[in-house]
Amino acid sequence: MNRMVLLLRELVKWADFIKLSHTVFALPFALASMLVAARDNRGWPGWRVFLLILVAMLTARTCAMTFNRIVDRHFDKLNPRTSQRHLATGAITLWSAKFLLVISGAGFIFTAYQINTLCFYLAPLALFTVCFYSLTKRFSDYTHVYLGIALGLAPLGAWLAVRGSIGLTPVLLSIAVVFWLVGFDIIYAIQDHAFDQKHGLHSLVVAWGVKNALQGAFLSHMIMWGILVICGFILGFRLAYITGMFLILIALLIEHWLAQKRSLQWINYSFFRLNALISIIFMTVTALEVIFPFWRLRL
């Protein structure tokens, strides 16, 4: 019993280290892309492809987050907001983090090999992209865009896993994810505005100031919403999707209303819960449109 408790605690610690809960951001968009790619089969690509997509998402994200924690560990120690992270406190050793980095990266490459040839060839580029983001705050104000591109690969990868070729739909979804990430990562970066200025780290919040950066985030989110509307129109989605777009718009407006308060508590609420809700709503209404096409009502 004690061994089981210790094992559970260890698993919880590592899940927290890689912020496993934050998988809820990109994964629903990847699954939505998978559903549309397998639309001829009511959204189901088969268990093998489905599980490989899940493993690829998990291993790629684990590799990227571990790399982020490793390269940012010195800044994390200095920042009061992040000083209790695992590498900063020694709860996880640097050696074990590097081991996880290698294992998860190799796991992603192997999983891509199991999917198809094109995914395998593109896997090293994808891995480089998702890890490179962590370095951009050292030299670019547009670090949020790099993060958006990293997460924007999820819908593209899922589509390639199902069809083995690219299409307009995953490209639009990926662009939407980029603008979505830019918007909410700017909001998240407000927390570190003073710290980043002091230590020479870059972000649009530092470059533009909080007020202007929030305006840019709002514009980015409206562009994201518009792209999703266009995507639904192209796919011929109707009632469920329209309802979902309305709910997503409300969530975005609430998010920016909360962000204006500039309170750490409200920013964390805005960042995680509302954006998790947005991605889940999008996946749900996409699933309804693909799996139950007879529910569509032409307006």
**pLDDT (tens digit, 9 = 90+) per residue, 37-86?**
999 888 899 999 999 999 999 999 999 999 999 999 999 999 998 999 99
**What per-residue confidence (pLDDT) applies to 112?**
97
pLDDT digits (tens, 9 = 90+) for 260-270: 876 666 666 66
**What per-residue confidence (pLDDT) applies to 269?**
64
Question: Contact 23/16 with Cβ under 8 angstroms?
Answer: no
Q: For the chain, which residues make up each domain, given as ranges?
A: 23-295
In angstroms, rounded to a whole number, what is the distance separating the alpha carbons of residues 60 and 71?
Answer: 17
Q: Using the predicted structure, report yes or no on whether residue 299 has a pLDDT greater than 60.
A: no
Q: Using the predicted structure, report yes or no on whether residue 295 has a pLDDT greater than 70.
A: no
Name the average pLDDT for the chain: 92
Query: Alpha helix locations (H) across 116-238?
Result: 117-136, 143-163, 168-189, 193-199, 204-208, 210-235
**What per-residue confidence (pLDDT) applies to 10?**
82
Q: Using the predicted structure, report yes or no on whether residue 129 has a pLDDT greater than 80.
A: yes
The CATH class of the 23-295 domain is mainly alpha
Q: Using the predicted structure, report yes or no on whether residue 28 has a pLDDT greater than 90.
A: yes
Residue 228 CB neighbour total at 10 angstroms: 26
In angstroms, rounded to a whole number, what is the distance separating the alpha carbons of residues 212 and 220?
Answer: 12
